[in-house]
Structure 1
Amino acid sequence: MRFGMPWPGRDVGREAEQAGVGAFCAGEFADHDSYLTVADIVANTEHALAGPAIAYAFARTPYAHATALRHLHAQAPGRLFLGLGSAAFRINRDWLGVPPERPVARIAETVGAVRAWLHAENGDRVRYRGEYYALDADVRAPVLGRLDIPILLAGFNTRMAATAGRVADGVIGHGLFTDSWWNEVVRPGVERGAGERETAADGRLLEHGWIITAVDDSAPERAVADARRMIAFYLTVKTYDPFVAHHGWEEPVARLRAAFRAGDTDAMGRAVTDEMLAEIAVCGTTADAKDALGRRAGSLPRDVGYFAPPSFMVSPRRRSAYARAALALIGAVPAQAD
């Protein structure tokens, strides 16, 4: 597995690449744009992979996704990937102002339409026709040329994992993922989808994934508390209810959601049980984190793992400190068989 992390900024990012980090990713939210972050990554690194993980699929047209990648490819040929996520129902409806219905079918077409733009040679018409997108672009300028940039989907639940296997080049796992969720839900879903592909995949489908990571040898209790709050914040979203039911965590999740509604972030974190923490996060001291990685080989993505500092109620300064501390984990991940 290649050691990666969400982009920690230029200073820490350069240090991290020199230390052996082989991939950086860019998330997206109301205050930061994934493609602008990827531009910063490729301008300040030399060899590491770079890409959105994830960009909101429906916040942009397929044209906009592909054009951003072509622009970035000029600076970082061979280093890019694209991770797309469908986003939550209310984000699509209330933030983006796009139809929130049928996100699985819509994102499958998004992948096809983005590929149509990326694979077009100079002189070709860019054509794609589906239920949601109809492209027939005649670009009379020599600005195209096929780009084989991997497209991955954020596949949390079964249907999206299967869609990643059917139409994309791989899957991006969420920071909540556990060993059993990877092995009993996501990987089987991807395999089912791969069996339905119209054309065979070019090699094994890729696995990227986030790993909640908070390491602080001087204040391990605070690191653990930050990891608990991050887990709790994620689990306030009902999209993850199948994951909760799979693990039998309905009772603590009900408590943390009640605390969230009351605005009690400390109670949110306390509701996360020791079992939940151990199965989801890598946290505490460096020694604790290395032990956790040794136990969790099966719950780590096979290709790229993004060791991600908690962001909920955590300052940028502390996130940078967590990113630096995570560099001590390079080489601690046990080898995995394909």
Structure 2
Amino acid sequence: MRFGMPWPGREVAREAEEAGAGAFCAGEFVDHDAYLTLAEIVANSERALAGPAIAYAFARTPYAHATAMRQLHARAPGRLFLGLGSAAFRINRDWFDVPADRPVDRIAETVGAVRAWLHAENGEKVGYSGEFYSIDADVRAPVLGRLDIPVLLAAFNTRMAATAGRVADGVIGHGLFTRSWWNDVVRPSVERGAAGRDEGDARAVEHGWIITAVDDTAPERAVADARRMIAFYLTVKTYDPFVAHHGWESPVAQLRKAFRAGDTDAMAAAVTDEMVTEIAVCGTTADAKDALARRAGSLPRDVGYFAPPSFMVSHRRRAAYGRAGLALIDTLPAAQNSVHSN
């Protein structure tokens, strides 16, 4: 597995790349845009793999996704991937004012329509015909040419994971993923989706987020921050199958009750030690290395984004967690932590 990080800013990123970090990713929320962040990554890194993990799929047209990647490819050829996520129903409906129904079917077509723009050659029409997208573009300017940029899908539950295996180049796992969720749920679903593809197609790529909070001087605070991050994620009902799979219904009911009451301390307190052990890499550097050893074989196979907690954690402390997490690079097999090349 290659060591990656959500974009930590230019200064930390310089240290990270020199230390051997092989990938940076750009997230997205109301205060940061995935493609603007990706442009910053491209401008301030030299070798590392880079891409959105994820960009909101339905907040933009397939044209807009592909055009951003084309422009950035000119500055970072061979280093880019495109990670797309469907986002929650209410985000699509209430934030973006776009249709929110049938997200799995819609994102499958989004991948095809984005690829139509990425694979277009000069002199050829750009075409795609589906239920949700119809493209018939005659681009007369000589600005195209096929780009084989991998397209990955954020997939948590089984239908989206199977769709990633069927139509995309791979999957991006969530920071909540455990050994069991990767091995027993997501990977079999991806493989099932890929079963009908050509035998010559490459194995589905696995990227994934890993909640990581390392602090040798204040390990208790690091663990507490990881607990709050886990609690915040689990307030979302999308993850109910994951909760049921692990038998965590009772603590999750408690943390959701605390969330509705605005009690973040009670939210964190409801997260059990088992949940922290199964989900996060946190505590001292030694604790974190032990956690990685326990989870060998159940982390994303290709790129892991060692992500500091962000819920109620300052930018300064997130940067400190990012720097501290670099000590974990030597825990990963050196050959698998090399930078991306095409």
Common fold: TM-score over 0.5 = yes
Equivalence map 1:275-294=2 (5 Å):
275-294=274-293
Unaligned runs of 5+ in 1: none
Q: 1:45 to 1:335 in 2, by over 3 A?
A: closer
Q: Deviations over 1:25-72 (max 9, x none)?
A: 010001000000000001000000000000000000000000000000
Q: Give, in angstroms, the shift of residue 170 of structure 1.
A: 0.3
Deviation at 1:202, TM superposition (A): 3.0
Residue 331 of structure 1 and its aligned partner are, at CA, apart by 2.0
Counterparts of 1:106-255 in structure 2, within 5 Å, are 106-197=106-197, 199-200=198-199, 202-255=201-254
Distance (Å, rounded) in 2 between the aligned partners of 1:74 and 1:113: 21
Q: Which amino acid aligns with 1:166?
A: R
Cα separation, 2, equivalents of 1:210 and 1:335:
20
How many pairs are equivalent? 336
The aligned amino acid for 1:66 is A
| Superposition CA RMSD, Å | 1.2
Greater CA deviation, 244-253 or 201-210? 201-210
Deviation, 1:333, is 2.9
Q: Deviations over 1:148-172 (max 9, x none)?
A: 0000000100000000000000000
8 Å contact 1:28–1:55 — kept in the other structure?
A: yes
**1:332 aligned partner, one-letter code:** T
CA distance in 1, matches of 2:42, 2:293: 32
Q: For residue 173 of structure 2, what is the amino acid of its counterpart?
A: G
* Corresponding letter in the other structure for 1:171: V
Give the corresponding residue for 1:16: 16
Residue in 1 that maps onto 2:324 = 325
Question: Displacement of 1:222 after TM fit?
Answer: 0.3
Deviations 1:265-298 (A, max 9, x none): 1111110000000000000000000000000012
**What does residue 307 of structure 2 align with?**
308
- Which letter does structure 2 place at the counterpart of 1:244? V
Tell me the distance in 1 between the aligned counterparts of 2:289 and 2:200. 34
Any gaps of 5 or more consecutive residues in structure 2?
337-342
C-alpha deviations, 1:105-124, integer Å up to 9, x for none? Answer: 00000000000000000001
Match of 2:32 in 1: 32
Per-residue deviation, 1:205: 1.1
Deviation, 1:203, is: 1.5
Q: Which residue number corresponds to residue 50 of structure 2?
A: 50
* Cα distance change, pair 56–150 in 1 and its aligned pair in 2 (3 A): same
TM-score (norm 2): 0.97
Post-superposition CA distance 1:84-139 (Å, at most 9, x none): 00000110111111111000000000000000000000001000000000000000
What amino acid does structure 2 have at the position aligned with 1:95? W
- Which residue is equivalent to 2:267? 268
Over 6 Å off, 4+ runs: none
Change (3 A) 1:201 1:50: farther
Distance 2:65 2:193 in 1: 24
Give a deviation string over 1:247-268, Cα, whole Å, max 9, x none. Answer: 0000000000001001111111
